[in-house]
Structure 1
Amino acid sequence: MMKVIILLDQIQAGLGGKEKGDTPLGGKKLAMGAADTIDKALRKMDSEIIGTFYCGTDYYQENKIEVKRKVAKMCEKMQADVVIAGPTYDYPDFSTMACELAENIQENTVIPVVALTAIEKNEALIEQYEAALTIVKMPKKGGTGLSDSIDHALELCRLKVANEETSEFVTQYCY
């Protein structure tokens, strides 16, 4: 059984739109917003979301060091097996926050991380992080193929948690 933590912005967590960008870092020990779809797929794998961390993108930009430190510490404290950053769709501010948090977790903990980002509006960001992170390809908001992307992300989580070879998988489904 995998214990998964999801990282979302305030929009994907269901806490409001861009006007709520000042939402401070928070979390709940359940699947929130966009994490609900992932949780349903995880339960079929006899796994679960043990927490959803959320943060407004404006708040994050003003408090990066503190947010990065707290997220990494909480992932360790909750003993997550893996962290999923996203799905970020084609939202540049959220995608940036997700990649920065993912890289920090990867560098400062032993917890593997999988990111989900659409290339639309995020091409430069993906180029910046694709060597350091495994970023699963996903559609932009409203695009087709979301359930496939989630399945790919969860399979990559499973492979990472089991310490199995991922290079062939990454070549096929990641940037």
Structure 2
Amino acid sequence: MAEKFKVLYYVNQFFGQIGGEDKAGMEPMYKEETVGPAMGFNSSLKGEGEVIGTLICGDNYFNENKEEALEYILKVIKDNNPDIVVTGPAFNAGRYGMACAEIAKAVVKELNIPVVSGMYIENPGLDVCKDIAIVAETSDSAAGMRKALPVMANLVRKIAKGEELGLPEEEGYIPQGKRLTVFAEKRGSQRAVEMLLARLNDEEFQTELPMPVFDTVDPAPAIKDLSKATIALVTSGGMVPLGNPDRIQSASAQKWGKYDVSSRDALTGEYCTIHGGFDPVYANELPDRVAPLDILKELEKEGYIGKAFEYFYTTTGTGTSVGNSVKFGTEIGKELKEAGVDGVILTST
């Protein structure tokens, strides 16, 4: 009987059965057993391989202490010498996805061990690792766990046994953007004409080179009279009151904040950035560099604009999923429209 290949599994604090958001700050730990989804995954290996242990780390801890977390995780993996590492599935959880992605990237690059993960197509972690790890496409929530694990296990079995993977749509993983040379029965010109004819006849066809789809937004009508307009300030630069009272995430944001600035002439003094994607020194020195409330208030005093809106909106953009970005924009926009705001100054970093 062939020797079983060894799998080491990574999960966050929730799927590691440690706790929820209250345990998101836990440091990484290792258990020589199958925990959470690692149990179902192990069963899906059908006896050809086995999960030898489970790494668990809090989402907040990993994203706020990446170097320390990776140092521990890589040491555990190196000491146990698995044939393959599995992270997730993270579905559409941003912080979890970023942790899975960063671990995958580090394991492949530094230890030369293959990694399989699972994510929803809009997870911000996907772009970090899809070119270096195999990422199974999952639903956006843990409700898709039962479907995700067998797909991931099948990918792991093939990779661990040295078998060549089929096309992404056949195997259930997200395309890596690689173009491979393959032999086809028909030359390119014939395939192109057949696709064109199928399209003209409203028949099904599959393009050989999918193009990215970009959202289009029609510009709002111009403000007719700025001197009577109410202008709001919104930023993805992570500017928050000192202490970050609403605990907005420094990356892969899951929420936005709203703060009363009606009595302030500037953010400087009581605000700072919690953004994890840039050096905060100069932003913290003068927060209005990122979110220029000071200039907006000056324009109000000069009569150039009618009024600076009394509330300031903020979140962090780094690693935040497209889905959450759309959600935040819709929610904030609804509030601003209902409040009679005429225009918005939206700043980023």
Q: Shared fold by TM > 0.5?
A: yes
Q: Quick one: structure 1 residues 92 and 158, their matched pair in 2 at CA, closer, same or farther if it must change by over 3 Å?
A: same
| 1:169 CA drift (Å) | 4.3
Tell me how far 1:98 sits from its aligned partner: 0.4
- Determine the C-alpha separation between the residues in 1 that align with 2:28 and 2:127: 27
Per the alignment, in what secondary structure is the counterpart of residue 132 of structure 1?
coil
Deviation at 1:108, TM superposition (A): 0.5
1:138 to partner: Cα distance: 1.3
Q: Residue 46 and residue 117 in structure 1: after superposition, are their counterparts in 2 closer, same or farther (change >3 A)? A: same
User: Which string of whole-angstrom CA distances, capped at 9 and with x for unpartnered residues, describes residues 43-102 of structure 1?
Assistant: x23421101001001111222112112212211211211110101122111011100111
SS at match of 1:139: coil
Whether the aligned pair in 2 keeps the contact of 1:156 and 1:169 (CA below 8 Å) is no
Question: CA 1:37/1:62 → structure 2, altered by over 3 Å: closer, same or farther?
Answer: same
The DSSP-based 3-state class of the residue aligned with 2:102 is helix
Q: Secondary structure at the match of 1:45?
A: coil
Separation in 2 of the partners of 1:46 and 1:133?
21
Q: How does 1:5-154 map to 2 (within 5 A)?
A: 5-42=8-45, 44-120=46-122, 122=123, 124-144=124-144, 146-154=145-153
Q: Which runs of 4+ in 1 moved over 4 A?
A: none
Preserved CA contact (<8 Å) 1:31 1:51: yes
Q: Name structure 2 gaps, 5 residues minimum.
A: 175-349
Which residues of structure 1 form unaligned runs of 5+? none
Whether the 8 Å contact between 1:134 and 1:170 is mirrored in structure 2 is: no
Q: Distance in 2 between matches of 1:125 and 1:59?
A: 16
Report the Cα distance in structure 2 between the residues aligned to 1:66 and 1:143, rounded to whole angstroms: 32
CA contact (8 A) 2:101 2:128 kept: no
Instruction: State the shift of 1:140 in Å.
Output: 2.5
Which residue pairs with 1:161 in the alignment? Answer: 160
- CA distance in structure 1 between the partners assigned to 2:9 and 2:128 by the alignment: 22
Contact map agreement 1:5 1:75 (CA 8 A) in 2: yes
Call closer, same or farther: CA 1:2–1:16 in 2, change over 3 Å. Answer: same
Instruction: Kindly tell me the number of residue pairs found equivalent between the two proteins.
Output: 170
Counterpart of 1:139 in structure 2: which amino acid? S
Alignment partners' CA distance in 1, 2:141 and 2:65:
27
Give how far 1:149 is off: 2.2
Q: Distance in 2 between matches of 1:125 and 1:94?
A: 8
Deviation of 1:171 (Å):
4.6
Larger RCO (alpha carbons 8 Å, 6+ apart): 1
Give, as a single letter, the amino acid of the residue that structure 2 aligns with 1:125.
G
Distance 1:95 1:64, change over 3 A: same
Same amino acid, percent of matched pairs:
24
Q: 1:26 touches 1:55 (CA, 8 Å); kept in 2?
A: yes
Distance 1:163 1:78 in 2: 20
CA-based RMSD? 1.7
Which letter maps to 1:6?
Y
Counterpart CA distance in 2 for 1:50 and 1:70 is: 17
**3-state secondary structure, aligned to 1:27:** strand
Tell me which structure has the larger Cα radius of gyration: 2
Per the alignment, in what secondary structure is the counterpart of residue 114 of structure 1? strand
Take 1:27 and 1:53, find their aligned partners in 2: how far apart are those partners? 5
User: Compared with structure 1, are the counterparts of its residues 47 and 163 closer, same or farther at alpha carbon in structure 2 (3 Å cutoff)?
Assistant: closer
> Which residue is equivalent to 1:2?
5
